Structure 1
Amino acid sequence: MLRQENFTEIVLRHAAELPDKEAFVFLPDSTPGAVARQLTYAALDAEARRIASWLQRHSAAGERVLLLYPSGLEFVKAFVGCLYAGAVAVPAPLPGDQDNQSARLTGILRDAGVRAVLTDSAGEPAVSAWLRESGATGVRVLAVDDPAQGDAAAWTRPRLTADSLAFLQYTSGSTSEPKGVMVSHRNLIANEQAISRALGTHEGTRMGCWLPAYHDMGLIGHILNPLYVGGSAALMSPVSFLMRPARWLQMITDHRVTVSGSPNFGYDLCLRRVTDEQLATLDLSSWEHACNGAEPVRSETVRAFTERFAQAGFRPESFCPCYGMAETTLLVSGVPAGRAPVHRTVDAAALEQGRLDDAPPGDGTRTLVGSGEVAPDDFTVKIVDPDSRAERPEGHVGEIWAKGASVAAGYWNRPRTNAQVFDAGIVSPAGTDPGWLRTGDLGAMDAGQLYVTGRLKEMILINGRNIYPHDVEREVQGLHPAFRGGAGAAFSVDDGEEHLVLVQEFRRGAAQDPAALCAEVRDRVRREFQASCSVVLVRPATVRKTTSGKIRRTLMRQLLLEDRLAVVHQDLDRRVADLAAGPMATPVG
């Protein structure tokens, strides 16, 4: 265990002890002439000192510094430069990378009170133009790949404590507007220790990552953990992975990666698009921990991936479903090393009533994947009734509440929200136990396993039954080939009573009748969930997602009600049609 009080000292120690060791290698895409770029601990240290000196000279120590980069090593240098300067890094996507990204980025700029922006030479003109358009004044911009900027010899060691802020991690906003989680050095060290304990990471660990560097799973799990233990990481861009998923697995093969993770959709993408010819070239025997988190873990994905890639050396016990969030820095629970994931088949009707009951023979079941165990040295987790705030018994669903050194102090400049979210109290006959984080996630503890069942704000209540939106989405996506590979968003609209709606992407073929597809969906949902479902069919890439791939169901509801969806075909209940702002297709019922 490392005893340094702040993360900066840990990086400085490894730079001094492991100067010639490769810290990171960034792998290029298929661009002709592109080569892999390496960064040793000594080179990272030198660049971080140079960047930090510029930040210190411009009075950015202790201030928020926005990091806007494409995928690559420049982000890593800039982030560590902020640590060396005692500045508070604010990682974010480049403006224009995603729908509504510029507006979201402007919100982050203003919310954080950014003093400076770090980027690269290629991105500096666009970043400067965005700053002008946003009306920002007094914000300096530095292209850190210009070696003339800053002087490593002028750097001075920052005065930091465990409670100094290391960075602001802006949440992805899947159910609400993004908020900046205040991650202190104490929080960061505690969670890196938790990750190392769960995954057994050490100096010999080789990480592999395609996730965005501004995503908490990418940053904390794959970039900062190697720096914490003195390990190394191979990095590639998300675009490279999405264009050709086999590149991720080839990276694991070529660089003998031991730890690499992805949200569930990444494993699904490999199942759909990695060919048998590509599979024959892979060797995944080095892959000790295939972390699966950031969205619901699907049992069928875990089983199918394990079976398909076994011939490449992938082992069942390598799969590591895990649970975490920005508010806990990252990891809360994970499957212990050497154990295969736990699949629990439960009665669907009982689950809708908030219980994990063993499934009877026949239909009406749901299979959950355990998100592993909670290490008592790292966290205390309770399952709590969100209304009464009383603890729920084992095997019963409630809101997941957490305590531990990794839990952040709160959101930047949100004192009222922080009191509600980060200082909640569990009520019992003995009194109120304060200081709990309300995660907003629903789940249950059973036999030591944490099962995450959904998001509290996204739960759909129909006829007294709790319906999880991802269950509806998953059921429909397996219904017809036209839906496979397409995203869906299930949510409810309310006119005093909740009504279920599904917006589903589909690939239109000459022989497909959209009206018949809608009818098939409505029939399946009625049979499986005993609920009427309005169906909206849209083209691929219409369903909005966060930067980490989570479905933005709240936004999709808003787009439907404001008549801002490009609809191919829809089949709506009359009361749903009445709620929409614009003209709708002929309602039914």
Structure 2
Amino acid sequence: MHRTLTEAVRAGVEQHPDRLAFVYLHEDGRTTRPEELTYAELDRRARLVAARLRQESRGDPARPVLLLHPPTLEFVTAFLGCFYAGRTAIPAPLPDEPGERLARVGGILKDARVGAVLTQPAHRQALAAWLAAAGEHDVVCLAPEDDGSDPGPWRAPDTRPDDIAFLQYSSGSTSDPKGVMVTHANLAANEEAIHRSMLTGPGVVTGSWLPLYHDMGLIGMTLHPLWMGGTSVQMSPVSFIKQPHRWLRMIHDYRVEGTASPDFGYELCARRTTEEQAEGLDLSCLRVALNGAEPVRATTLRTFADRFAAHGLRREALFPCYGLAENTLLASAGDTTSVHVELDVDVHHLEQHELRPAVAGRPSRTLVGCGRPAGSEVLIADPTTREALAGGRVGEIWLRGPSVARGYWNRPRATDACFRAETADGRPGYLRTGDLGALVDGELYVTGRIKEMLIHHGRNLYPQDIEQAVQESGPALRRGGGAVFTVGDDQRERSYVVVVQEVRPGPGGDLDLPGLAASVQSVLSRRFQLPAAGVVLVRPGAVRKTTSGKTRRTLMRRLFLDGALPVLHQRLEQPLAALVTAPDAPAPHPAPLAAPGR
């Protein structure tokens, strides 16, 4: 096993310099155009970035380097260049849109006390102006020009396994993003856990459309092939959303063995890929298709497997797993040689935090097993008493092992609370994930998030169950486009359940919005005994998601109360409507950062 990613890449350069390390598929009309990078060329470009970082005399070299690139090969060379220079990298999205993304990157800039920004030449001027406007005059903005020359011999930095390799800013489904400190040792341990779980071999080929700055896209689909001396094939998320079948065509063309996506990606691909687009596809090469974002739906796995079985897709390839940035990435995974496990449980007992087999004639829920521990110890604990719970009991998922990151950057209190948990009987050193789940016969079942649980009249309701029931009740209610949360009314000492749901017009283009809202309330009353729930219908794209596809329910609750949702129609009881702030006139957006002429 290599000690660091840099060692793994340098071994690849020596052993197979002409092997493809990366292929990036650029959009080219309705097709794609490949850009390729060999191990030798990757090494040369990374040495160029490292040399530029070392030549820059301004700023503190101990401060992290923020990477702001579009999802192309330049991001990969910049990331590896930071490793070559012994600098701590921060992968982040290029803030080329006004509003939320710009605010997020600005928050990362200040929270991490960034010392330098790496970007492409086309974006340098706009980013330098943004830094100046933000008062970050001591942050250097670098855009190394590649003239094709060799920067000279590489001098290995004095990197220790416990040094921080990069900061992975969490996607923030329930809170403000925090920088997870991933050490070189953490990364090595998790790459080995992925290797053992996925049974990847030397020269493995992976391919995905996931963002390169997200943990699954970065560690699983971009860095793991480098760890194994293999090849990573990438396309942008936008390219996938426009034409989902491009993902399948990538797998076919490059004989991809491993891929990954949140649940919604599989659902979208199965629903929108036409027979004409699927013609001639051979997916028999695909051994592992990771599905690792909450929730993993049994119906999605079945639909995707059935849709593409005729094209060589093996049902065993669909690979539910569980992971999070605080554990570097992977925490549990299934078996590549057998079909994933499903468990039908009784809803009443699930609401009481217990998994019991479903009973005929009573409401049930199908849970998808996320495999067994992968390089980490998994413990289910009562989040209040910290007592370890027996199998079948639902509690907070705690992790312990070499993949658990060092903590949150510059947040000692949050680090102690999250990364230094101790059980009631005195076992220390656990990571509190904030996720709910249970172990049954060694299999991990993830049921939801503690902060998003709906407590209504003594019942513990999972928002994803309500969202799914609503979306399955009619074709105009967009799959994956809902957010359910509660709003408290202190004066009346009661809470209201609110459903925000995206709608899309049918073939005729018209929608009966009042009728749709009434039908949603009927579903909530009939299925969940929630007769006074509020319903807000919005346009497609209004429900906010993290980079991994998780619904940002906490943010949606805040937007609802602030009157900031693009409402098409809503049904709210008067006491609930009174809690919503009347929207002010929209504030002007800050100017986006983009390449000239974009």
Please say whether Structure 1 and Structure 2 have the same fold, judged by a TM-score greater than 0.5: yes
Residues 102-251 of structure 1 correspond to what in structure 2 (within 5 A)? Answer: 102-147=102-147, 152-153=151-152, 155-251=154-250
For residues 231 and 63 of structure 2, the distance between their equivalents in structure 1, rounded to whole angstroms, comes to: 29
CA contact (8 A) 2:478 2:540 kept: no
Match of 1:398 among 385, 395, 399: 395
CA contact (8 A) 2:264 2:480 kept: no
For residues 33 and 359 of structure 1, the distance between their equivalents in structure 2, rounded to whole angstroms, comes to: 47
Structure 2 match to 1:543: 543
CA contact (8 A) 1:205 1:232 kept: yes
For residues 32 and 393 of structure 2, the distance between their equivalents in structure 1, rounded to whole angstroms, comes to: 53
Residues 287-302 of structure 1 correspond to what in structure 2 (within 5 A)? Answer: 287-302=286-301
Structure 2: runs of 5 or more not aligned: 584-598
* Aligned partner letter, 1:116: A
Match of 1:388 among 385, 390, 403: 385
CA contact (8 A) 2:47 2:151 kept: yes
1:285 aligns with 2:284: yes
Per-residue deviation, 1:254: 0.5
Per-residue deviation, 1:27: 1.2
Structure 1: runs of 5 or more not aligned: 584-589
For residues 386 and 347 of structure 1, the distance between their equivalents in structure 2, rounded to whole angstroms, comes to: 22
Classify the secondary structure of the residue corresponding to 1:435: coil
CA contact (8 A) 2:353 2:394 kept: yes
Q: CA RMSD in A?
A: 1.8
1:52 aligns with 2:44: no
Per-residue deviation, 1:190: 0.2
For residues 134 and 501 of structure 1, the distance between their equivalents in structure 2, rounded to whole angstroms, comes to: 37
Match of 2:416 among 403, 415, 419: 419
Judged with a 3 Å threshold, the aligned counterparts in structure 2 of structure 1 residues 453 and 501 are, in CA distance, closer, same or farther, namely same
Structure 2 match to 1:451: 445
1:504 aligns with 2:501: yes
CA distances 1:42-76 after superposition (whole Å, capped 9, x unpaired)? 11111111110111222564430011111111111
* Aligned partner letter, 1:472: I
1:470 aligns with 2:464: yes
Per-residue deviation, 1:154: 6.0
Judged with a 3 Å threshold, the aligned counterparts in structure 2 of structure 1 residues 211 and 145 are, in CA distance, closer, same or farther, namely farther
CA distances 1:375-398 after superposition (whole Å, capped 9, x unpaired)? 4xx111111111111111100110
CA contact (8 A) 1:486 1:540 kept: no
* Aligned partner letter, 1:467: L
For residues 479 and 122 of structure 2, the distance between their equivalents in structure 1, rounded to whole angstroms, comes to: 34
For residues 118 and 16 of structure 1, the distance between their equivalents in structure 2, rounded to whole angstroms, comes to: 27
* Aligned partner letter, 2:386: R
For residues 480 and 316 of structure 2, the distance between their equivalents in structure 1, rounded to whole angstroms, comes to: 29
Classify the secondary structure of the residue corresponding to 2:380: strand
Classify the secondary structure of the residue corresponding to 1:333: strand
Q: Quick check: 400-409 or 57-66, which moved more?
A: 57-66
Q: Quick check: 180-189 or 553-562, which moved more?
A: 553-562
For residues 30 and 466 of structure 2, the distance between their equivalents in structure 1, rounded to whole angstroms, comes to: 44
Q: Quick check: 479-488 or 219-228, which moved more?
A: 479-488
Classify the secondary structure of the residue corresponding to 1:386: coil
Q: Quick check: 161-170 or 91-100, which moved more?
A: 91-100
Judged with a 3 Å threshold, the aligned counterparts in structure 2 of structure 1 residues 220 and 106 are, in CA distance, closer, same or farther, namely same
Residues 559-574 of structure 1 correspond to what in structure 2 (within 5 A)? Answer: 559-574=559-574
Classify the secondary structure of the residue corresponding to 1:212: coil
Per-residue deviation, 1:226: 0.7
CA contact (8 A) 1:61 1:85 kept: no
CA contact (8 A) 2:478 2:501 kept: no
For residues 353 and 321 of structure 1, the distance between their equivalents in structure 2, rounded to whole angstroms, comes to: 25
Q: Quick check: 180-189 or 517-526, which moved more?
A: 517-526
CA contact (8 A) 1:461 1:498 kept: no
1:67 aligns with 2:67: yes
For residues 332 and 575 of structure 2, the distance between their equivalents in structure 1, rounded to whole angstroms, comes to: 42
Classify the secondary structure of the residue corresponding to 1:425: coil
Judged with a 3 Å threshold, the aligned counterparts in structure 2 of structure 1 residues 467 and 196 are, in CA distance, closer, same or farther, namely same
CA contact (8 A) 2:203 2:225 kept: no
CA contact (8 A) 2:535 2:571 kept: yes
CA contact (8 A) 1:53 1:151 kept: no
Structure 2 match to 1:586: none
Structure 1 match to 2:350: 351
Per-residue deviation, 1:549: 2.0
Structure 2 match to 1:318: 317
For residues 293 and 476 of structure 2, the distance between their equivalents in structure 1, rounded to whole angstroms, comes to: 26
Judged with a 3 Å threshold, the aligned counterparts in structure 2 of structure 1 residues 34 and 300 are, in CA distance, closer, same or farther, namely closer
1:265 aligns with 2:264: yes
- Higher relative contact order, chain-length normalized (CA < 8 Å, sep 6+): 2
Aligned residues: 576
For residues 351 and 179 of structure 2, the distance between their equivalents in structure 1, rounded to whole angstroms, comes to: 33
CA contact (8 A) 2:256 2:285 kept: yes
1:303 aligns with 2:302: yes
Structure 2 match to 1:96: 96
1:338 aligns with 2:332: no
CA distances 1:344-398 after superposition (whole Å, capped 9, x unpaired)? 11111111111111001124110110011114xx111111111111111100110
CA distances 1:373-432 after superposition (whole Å, capped 9, x unpaired)? 114xx111111111111111100110000001000010000001111000011103xxx2
CA contact (8 A) 1:121 1:146 kept: no
For residues 328 and 97 of structure 1, the distance between their equivalents in structure 2, rounded to whole angstroms, comes to: 30
* Aligned partner letter, 1:582: A
TM-score by length of 2: 0.93
Structure 2 match to 1:488: 482
Judged with a 3 Å threshold, the aligned counterparts in structure 2 of structure 1 residues 435 and 445 are, in CA distance, closer, same or farther, namely same
* Aligned partner letter, 1:140: V
Judged with a 3 Å threshold, the aligned counterparts in structure 2 of structure 1 residues 34 and 582 are, in CA distance, closer, same or farther, namely closer
1:18 aligns with 2:12: no
CA distances 1:502-551 after superposition (whole Å, capped 9, x unpaired)? 00011245653212211111111112112232101111111111222221
Per-residue deviation, 1:145: 4.4
Structure 1 match to 2:553: 553
CA distances 1:465-504 after superposition (whole Å, capped 9, x unpaired)? 1111111111111111111346001011112433211000
Per-residue deviation, 1:34: 6.7
Judged with a 3 Å threshold, the aligned counterparts in structure 2 of structure 1 residues 486 and 356 are, in CA distance, closer, same or farther, namely closer
Per-residue deviation, 1:455: 0.6
CA distances 1:1-30 after superposition (whole Å, capped 9, x unpaired)? x1x433222221221122111111111212
CA contact (8 A) 2:284 2:314 kept: yes
CA distances 1:556-586 after superposition (whole Å, capped 9, x unpaired)? 1111111111211111133322321228xxx
Match of 2:39 among 41, 53, 71: 41
Per-residue deviation, 1:32: 8.4
Q: Quick check: 319-328 or 94-103, which moved more?
A: 94-103
Structure 2 match to 1:587: none
